[in-house]
A = this chain, B = another copy of it.
Amino acid sequence: MPQHMHETAPTQFVQVGDVRVAYRRFGKRGALPLLLLNYFAANMDDWDPKITNGFAAARDVIIFDYPGIGRSTGTTPSTVAAMTKDFVGFCRALDLNGFDIVGFSLGGMIAQQLAFEFPNMARRIVLLGTGPRGGEGMTFTELTVDELDDPASLLMNAFFTPSDASKSAGRAYLERLKLRATDRDEPVPRQAAIAQLESIREWGAIPLENRFAMLGQIRQPTLVVHGNKDVVVMPINAFLLAQHLPDAQLIMYPDASHGAQSQHADVFLEHARLFLNG
């Protein structure tokens, strides 16, 4: 039996240098930890309970707030590299040795940076709706923090396609985000979102040479998951990851945008299970 679920896991805190990091840990204690790295301007309550609980059936799931986000203190850095160092500190503070990571969008950038810079920390990596450093069209010029004023509308437009099936999945997703009724997280401060936006834009800048050289250095088995109509991170970026990572399996779902893994949650959880157990 899993100990706690997404809805009930108490918010805990761990000191990492000057920062008090908020996290929740639930699922099958004793199993290999699975750390989930969050997307732009998201706090712990923004994880889809269907996915976190799906993982928690077999894994020791850990979600957390980046510094300066939600109930974590500190300042949100404006580069992926600095966020990665923060994440390493968090893992060490929890004394984690051996774990898998799931990185969604911004979280997938941190996951890549971790695998590149700290090659012995994560075992397997799942990259959701993300792209390589200097990927295709990753300027995020259409993304502004003003959109955060209407999160439901932002999620419907960015995570789901205009089709009836996708919009219906989107509405179910928004309902699931309300399932945790107590001990909710704090909103993401505007200043933190601005710093994160800066960090993903910096990540997306195309380097002058050796555009995808970093990917060739990542040795972990990686599962790349993407929606074939992702309007936030163009789908070609998932293809580029699969082309340049030495050991990446790519799965792309139909009629799906940035929330592909939530729209296709049942089959995604099966695919992720096959990969993580593989």
Contact = CB atoms under 8 A, between A and B. Distances in A.
Contact of A250 (B246, B252, B255): B252
Nearest to A247: B254
Contact of A251 (B235, B243, B250, B254): B250
Contacts of A249: 251-254, 267
Contacts of A247: 254-255
Given A271-B271, A278-B267, A242 B246 contact: no
A251 B226 CA distance: 11
Nearest to A254: B247
Contact of A248 (B228, B274, B278): B228
A270 interface: yes
A252 B271 CA distance: 13
B248 A239 contact: no
Contacts of A235: 239, 242-243
Interface centre among A246, A249, A253 (most CB of B within 10 A): A249
A66 B243 CA distance: 34
A102 interface: no
Interface centre among A245, A250, A271, A278 (most CB of B within 10 A): A250
A231 interface: no
A253 to B, nearest CB: 6
A255 B251 contact: no
A236 interface: yes
A226 to B, nearest CB: 9
Interface in A223-243: 228, 235-236, 239, 242-243
Nearest to A275: B267
Contacts of A228: 242-243, 248, 250
Contacts of A236: 239
A66 to B, nearest CB: 30
A248 B254 contact: yes
A16 to B, nearest CB: 34
10 contacts: A239-B252, A242-B252, A242-B254, A246-B254, A247-B254, A249-B253, A250-B250, A251-B252, A267-B278, A271-B271
Given A228-B250, A242-B252, A249-B252, 9 more contacts: A235-B239, A235-B243, A236-B239, A239-B252, A249-B254, A249-B267, A250-B252, A271-B271, A271-B274
